[in-house]
A and B are shown apart, each in its own frame.
Chain A
Amino acid sequence: MVENRENRFMKYLRKDRLPHIFCAGCGNGIIMNTFFNGMELAEVDFDQVVMVSGIGCSSRIPGYVKCDSLHTTHGRPISFATGIKLANPENEVVVFTGDGDAAAIGGNHLIHGARRNINITVICINNNIYGMTGGQISPTSPQGSYGSTAPYGALERPFNLSEMVKAAGATYVARWTTAQPVQLSNAIKKALKNKGFSFIEVISQCPTYFGRKNRMRSPIEMLKWMKEESIVKRRADKLSAKELEGKIIVGEFQNKEEPEFSDKVCQLLEAQCTTGKPSSTRSAYEGD
């Protein structure tokens, strides 16, 4: 018998589609590994997983995975995911979305998903740029960084996505980089276990566009940059804004329990089926 020399994650992948289209050293592949690892740690049933994505390089991840998946329109994966979750709350719905997808065109869906606290996990692959379309500046591109739409450096301040999603009401929020695959896997595990809106921001490398335009030509240089500039939240909380300039704050931003949206919808339906009308709310039209 020939010994199976396959990588441990190959059982989750559509082998006939490999190698994937990502550039050599792109962070997307590392994020796939950490997701599978996190999923195993959380003991999630792979058959219940539904992967949903928008448009972008990172949004192509679900297409390589042997589970139900939906490749949707740019910026809208959270809306589709909401529908999937409400249609069958048994599904383990996971969104893969880029920084452009989630924070630019899809920014509204992101904050409202968090506000609802619907039980889905959003993994945002933040490579600080629009990879797929040729290196345009995104809402998370650091101020002063270069892109094809910012030949003199980005003028605007970037969004701090993890803080934004926390403020919008998400119940689990963490940020790590692709240079910390162990911590990232653990955060994904917690996100999957959290019964509510979970947001994982992964700072990732796009060597082809972000790297090349910002003097980090190789994926190795980019990973070293992420490793060196990372600072854990506990330590960062004691430092001033000036001291944190250029740093990547990693760690848990939120971890709390709150009522979840699909549960509330189910309760409403249950009440309607047993009493003929939802008991928990008084209709605004009552007495009309």
Chain B
Amino acid sequence: MVDFMITVDENLCKGCNICTEFCPRKVYQESGILNKKGVHVPVPENEDKCTQCQLCVMMCPDQAIKVDEKVDEKDDK
């Protein structure tokens, strides 16, 4: 288990799959099911591969993603 979390806010996500495509570690997987808004919200299936690089957070046009920051970076502040 990893000690951080990745969450996708399904009220904000529009299912563009930019995160699925551009995550360098292929953490997200396209979802097969529609949510109640009619959106395929990607699933962070391979969370253990995530390097917490935050690229998906910068590229999500809908501010739907949170990936916890690296703990050591937090300590610097």
Q: A residues near B, CB below 8 A?
A: 5-10, 13, 18-20, 22-30, 32-34, 37, 178, 181-182, 185, 218-220, 223
- Would B11 and A5 count as touching, CB distance under 8 A? no
- Would A22 and B61 count as touching, CB distance under 8 A? yes
- Would A30 and B61 count as touching, CB distance under 8 A? yes
| Residue among B5, B58, B60, B66 making CB contact with A185, cutoff 8 Å | B58
Other A-B contacts than A22-B61, A29-B63, A32-B63, 10 sampled, CB-CB below 8 A, are A5-B9, A5-B66, A7-B66, A19-B11, A24-B15, A24-B16, A25-B18, A28-B61, A218-B16, A220-B18
Beyond A24-B15, A219-B16, A219-B18, is A7–B61 a contact (Cβ under 8 Å)?
no
- Would B58 and A7 count as touching, CB distance under 8 A? no
Say yes or no for B26: interface residue by CB 8 A criterion: no
Q: B residues near A, CB below 8 A?
A: 5, 7, 9, 11-12, 14-18, 21-22, 55, 57-66
- Would A10 and B61 count as touching, CB distance under 8 A? no
Chain A residues positioned under 8 Å from B11 (CB to CB): 19
| Residue among B12, B14, B21, B58 making CB contact with A34, cutoff 8 Å | B58
**Bound-complex Cα distance A8 to B55 (A):** 13
Chain A residues positioned under 8 Å from B60 (CB to CB): 7, 29-30, 33
| Residue among B14, B55, B58, B65 making CB contact with A24, cutoff 8 Å | B14
**Bound-complex Cα distance A70 to B59 (A):** 26
